[in-house]
Amino acid sequence: MIVLHRPATGPCRPTVHISPDVPTIAGELLAGAIERTIARQGRCRLALSGGSTPAPIFAWLRQNLPTRCYDQLHITWADERVLPCNPSFAGDWQAFDPESNLRLAYEKWLAHVPIDVRRVHPLALSADAKVETLRFGRSFRQEMDGEIDVALLGVGPDGHVASLFPDHPALDVDDLCMAVHDSPKPPAERITLSLPVLDRARVVVVAATGDNKADMLSNAFAGVNGGEGLPVARVRGGGDLHWVLDPAAGRQIAAAAISK
């Protein structure tokens, strides 16, 4: 494994971990952050992402996060796809659409561990994005004080995180969350935490695999070719920022570091 400590300067200063075993490295960083947060403040507010990269990380957490953590763990999502569904609450996870980010986390992790469903806060309980954004915003403020302590983010080849896409007006919204109606990544309708909320998270773990993200990540890391303006580069976190990349996704960053 290669670990590149945060660059001395530049807007985005992640510690970059390049390893074939992204699930274990990301899982260990998340578990450590969750345990330290609980020890420090008695609870941990965790935001999860969807997509393909988090699934094996959820499987690692299912096996390895200490059971004692679940009594102080609050879980929500960095974003959620707004899809036809009519669950009555998060625990009704099989009533969510198969493409739902909540359902993914339950299938791979939460359905198999003793998490109290009262501490699981879904972004969407129906297909009405406007209603659900207002409902979740109230719940996020009341139950989690509108803050995230630890965030697991994936990143798209265009540099989007959650449902915050490059050059999209949603990047300039400083509410807690918002609806996105024109996501370039289907489905078009989504609800997302805002950039300021993600940027304030004390610990941020961005996980990425695949060669199709190598150039974008290199530009975001070096702050060149517009990379400094990408959503992934604008989530700096409030303390610990980690990028966990497989060798394909980290190829350009590693090559640049070796050539120095």
Q: Does 168 bind ligand 6PG (CB under 6 A)?
A: no
When binding is defined by CB under 6 A, the residue of 45, 74, 81, 200 that contacts ligand 6PG is 81
CB–CB of 23/177 below 8 Å? no
Question: How many binding residues for ligand 6PG (CB under 6 A)?
Answer: 15
Smallest gap from Cβ 170 to ligand 6PG, in A, equals 12
Q: Does 53 bind ligand 6PG (CB under 6 A)?
A: yes
Strand order of the β-sheet with 203-208 is 2-4, 15-18, 240-245, 203-208, 150-154, 44-48, 73-77
**Cβ-proximal residues to 158 (8 Å cutoff; 6+ apart), any chain:** 165, 166, 184, 216, 230
Q: Does 250 bind ligand 6PG (CB under 6 A)?
A: no
When binding is defined by CB under 6 A, the residue of 12, 61, 79, 240 that contacts ligand 6PG is 79
Radius of gyration of the chain (CA): 17
Alpha-carbon distance values, 108 to 54, 93, 182 (Å): 9, 12, 28
> Pattern of binders to ligand 6PG over 183-222, x per CB under 6 A?
--x-------------------------------------
**Measured between alpha carbons, how far is 5 from 15 in angstroms, rounded to an integer?**
5
Stretch that binds ligand 6PG, among 7-15, 122-130, 136-144, 148-156 (CB under 6 A): 148-156
Q: Does 50 bind ligand 6PG (CB under 6 A)?
A: yes
Q: Does 49 bind ligand 6PG (CB under 6 A)?
A: yes
**Measured between alpha carbons, how far is 235 from 131 in angstroms, rounded to an integer?**
27
Q: Choose between 73 and 193: whose C-beta lies nearer to ligand 6PG.
A: 193
> Which residues of the shown chain bind ligand 6PG in the complex (CB under 6 A)?
49-53, 79, 81, 101, 154-156, 160-162, 185
